Structure 1
Amino acid sequence: MISGRVRGLSPYRTETTPCKVKLSSNELPVKFPEEVKRKIGEAVSSIPFNRYPDPKAQELREIIAERFGVSPENIVLGNGSDELIQYLSVSVGELKEGVVYPVPTFPMYGICASTLGREKFEVPLQEDFDLDLQGFLKVIREKRPALAFFSYPNNPTGNCFDEEKIKKIRNEGVFTVLDEAYYSFSGKTFLADAVQREDTVVLRTLSKVGLAGLRVGILIAEEEVAKELNKVRLPFNITYPSQVIAKLMLTEFYHVIEEHVKMVIEERERLMAELCKMDGVKVYPSHANFFLFKTPYPAGLVHGELIKEGVLVRDVSHLPGLEGCLRVTVGFPEENDAFLFALQKVLRRL
């Protein structure tokens, strides 16, 4: 009785192999001070767990709005960005109209389209991992998709696409989503467009700034667009603990997040520079908290050997255009040093 379109889906894959050093999921490394842990414990212990949370998460939306310099009415919250991608896939255009996005990119764009039976148009990236503008224009003009997704910076390549190319694609009349999950590490944004235009929204998340366990995704849009998208939002989708902890971290303890983001940006540059010194290793530019690299050996082999050394990275070599590539998340300095030591050891062994 299960739909054929569901039977044909492949579930989202993540890397769960247990390792001492885990640099595979683009999480922010954070050491929460004891004061933070104590305050969170006190806040959570006061939650009336027999009650539903605020269905609008109004206080949290106000805090996020102030931090981003927008109005609470510009914001729709989701149980992670994944839920917001699903809402957009349901709401924008008609289901008979397709969805377009580059590949390789974050797989949830395609998964959400497939669950709804929407046609998918995947445009391969250029060799430099930038958008193939002519490829996009051809698809849009011939197939008329209603919705376009751009990960900005792109996951897994780490680069920000050319801003003018995105604008030219949007000018073809396609509703454009800028998924800025890694904004904290790039500083590049389409936020001003999102609050003014009816054809542009921006996605952000708390998952990449040390709060992945809370599952708080943020959609920023022009007020009328946000109002319409809010109609498909599931009730009580932001849990009581998530609201309470997020409010505390984004106000009283936001400096902790900022300090760790700064550390990761500095470590990213150090780590990439160290890899560039290794014979035969190619490192790709990144504006995110991760980057791609390639060795002279098969990616699957290097991935497996690193696991033997207790270090977990992501093998992305199966994705189009990424043959031989691995993706590593930037961790604490000691984790990054362990990765460098392990990779040197593996390369010598191979």
Structure 2
Amino acid sequence: MRVAHRDFHSCCIRSCGFRNARGSWRAHTARSSDGLRGMDMTHDQGRPVHGGLNITELGTLGLRPDDVLDFSASINPLGPSPLAVRAAREVPLSSYPDTECVGLREAIGNRLGVDPSQILVGNGSTELIHLLARSFLSEQSVAVIFAPTFGEYEAACRLQGVTPIALSPSDGFHWDVQAAIEQMAIVRPTVVFLCNPNNPTGVYLGEQEVARIANALRGTGLLVLDEAYVSFVEDRWNSLPMPNVVLLRSMTKDYALTGLRLGYMLASMDVIERVRRFQYSWSVNAPAQAAGIAALSESAHVEKGREEVRSGRDYLQDAARSLCIEYVPTTVNFLMMRVGDATGLRLKLLTEYRICVRDCASFGLPEYIRVGIRGMDDNRRLVEALKQALQS
């Protein structure tokens, strides 16, 4: 399978003169127009690069976090619910957290109709990704990743001595599922990582496609289905109740508990017990547990956030078309756009417009940026900045 771009909204790229945008931005890759030097955001001392403001980088540019509008992270534009914030603040900091997260697992189970024994809570879904890798992979194992995608899958595999096999998309960032199944039949992976909806593309596979992948792994491998962004999908389907499927959910996106780090895993009891043996005690702090329980009781807040995302998503896609910027049609709360030299544009937006976007070079996509969907006033400010930056 190979990357192609036939499904993109190209919208008169040639007539708008952006065909050679990569070269036109080259001067901004290392240094902004006023001589300030930015950081290389494709690497972070060997660790995966993520969205969010880099405090060290801002310091080198003479900026503070409050100076910058952050589009690099993709969370509920309304932020956390007031109830969740209050619950976190009321936790006595002198007490140990519940190491088994009983109350939070019960709240998740009640919300989803799942037995709490099939739920494991983690310090964000990233902790759970690494725990899964430690639990199931050894140097003799084979791991497969549907790429381009979230960098922690590869990082977790490599820490276990495994170089994962990347399955690349074949058509507009959509994967050829049949070709993927045929390749997996040859390599017989122990673990397969699939982000659905995918980060950074926003592509969302349907139930039948995912079921085919899971069925192909039955008896031989585990499908780790990362649904961190699934709450923002309009026509989402119920996830698969299959013994060889692990579901990962994040509460940092839809519930905006980003700073507290909170995620959970749904799996069979056997998988839960196997993974839990590797989890450190008290990895999920007490304020996070309290905020999670409170957030789950306030579904109206998440729904309002979805409505805000829906409006912002339509607006940004319309704006991209009007600016003749290619983009990948998205199902979630972020949009990936092709802009030429993404590293240069990112630095220009940061230094001249005080706007931070996600440079996708670390995904192997140096011509793309990913922007989170924020409130409408912020979205308008981004569009105006893009319009000016691309014309200058």
Q: TM-score, normalised by structure 2?
A: 0.78
1:302 is the counterpart of 2:332: no
Q: What amino acid maps onto 2:318 in structure 1?
A: A
Q: CA deviation at 1:161?
A: 2.7
Q: Is the contact between residue 54 and residue 240 of structure 1 (CA under 8 Å) also seen in structure 2?
A: yes
Rounded to whole Å, the distance in 1 between the matches of 2:366 and 2:171 is 12
Aligned-partner SS, 1:112: helix
Rounded to whole Å, the distance in 2 between the matches of 1:114 and 1:44 is 35
> 1:221 corresponds to which residue?
267
Q: CA deviation at 1:247?
A: 1.5
Q: CA deviation at 1:141?
A: 2.5
> 1:136 corresponds to which residue?
180
Structure 1 residues 1-350: aligned runs within 5 Å: 10-14=46-50, 15-16=53-54, 17=58, 18=65, 20-30=68-78, 36=82, 40-41=85-86, 43-44=87-88, 46-92=90-136, 94-173=138-217, 174-187=221-234, 191-193=238-240, 196-209=241-254, 210-251=256-297, 253-278=298-323, 280-295=324-339, 297-307=340-350, 308-317=352-361, 319-320=363-364, 322-349=365-392
Aligned-partner SS, 2:253: helix
Q: What amino acid maps onto 1:268 in structure 2?
A: R
Aligned-partner SS, 2:277: helix
> 2:20 corresponds to which residue?
none
String of CA shifts for 1:204-262, please: whole Å, max 9, x gaps: 111102111121111011333323332322211211111112222222x4422321222
String of CA shifts for 1:15-48, please: whole Å, max 9, x gaps: 5245521100112222567xx27x844x456534
Aligned-partner SS, 2:161: coil
> 2:17 corresponds to which residue?
none
Deviates more, 1:19-28 or 1:103-112: 19-28
Rounded to whole Å, the distance in 2 between the matches of 1:213 and 1:102 is 28
Q: CA deviation at 1:135?
A: 4.4
- Closer/same/farther in 2, CA of residues 213 and 318 from structure 1, 3 Å limit: closer
Q: Is the contact between residue 123 and residue 132 of structure 1 (CA under 8 Å) also seen in structure 2?
A: no
- Closer/same/farther in 2, CA of residues 63 and 187 from structure 1, 3 Å limit: farther
Q: Is the contact between residue 71 and residue 374 of structure 2 (CA under 8 Å) also seen in structure 1?
A: yes
Q: CA deviation at 1:185?
A: 0.7
Q: Is the contact between residue 206 and residue 237 of structure 2 (CA under 8 Å) also seen in structure 1?
A: no
Segments of 5+ residues of structure 1 without an aligned counterpart are: 1-8
Q: Is the contact between residue 343 and residue 366 of structure 2 (CA under 8 Å) also seen in structure 1?
A: no
Q: Is the contact between residue 126 and residue 132 of structure 1 (CA under 8 Å) also seen in structure 2?
A: yes
Rounded to whole Å, the distance in 2 between the matches of 1:263 and 1:238 is 30
Q: What amino acid maps onto 1:346 in structure 2?
A: A
String of CA shifts for 1:45-90, please: whole Å, max 9, x gaps: 6534333111111111111111222221221101000011011112
String of CA shifts for 1:244-287, please: whole Å, max 9, x gaps: 12222222x44223212221122111221122111x31121111
Aligned-partner SS, 1:346: helix
Q: CA deviation at 1:336?
A: 0.3
Aligned-partner SS, 1:218: strand
Aligned-partner SS, 2:288: helix
- Closer/same/farther in 2, CA of residues 233 and 189 from structure 1, 3 Å limit: farther
Q: CA deviation at 1:192?
A: 4.3
String of CA shifts for 1:294-339, please: whole Å, max 9, x gaps: 23x432332222221111111114533x342111110111110100
Aligned length: 331
String of CA shifts for 1:108-134, please: whole Å, max 9, x gaps: 000000011123111111231112335
Rounded to whole Å, the distance in 1 between the matches of 2:166 and 2:311 is 34
Q: Is the contact between residue 85 and residue 112 of structure 1 (CA under 8 Å) also seen in structure 2?
A: yes
Q: Is the contact between residue 99 and residue 281 of structure 2 (CA under 8 Å) also seen in structure 1?
A: yes
Q: TM-score, normalised by structure 1?
A: 0.87
Rounded to whole Å, the distance in 1 between the matches of 2:361 and 2:163 is 25
Segments of 5+ residues of structure 2 without an aligned counterpart are: 1-44, 59-64
CA-based RMSD of the aligned residues comes to 2.3
- Closer/same/farther in 2, CA of residues 229 and 26 from structure 1, 3 Å limit: same
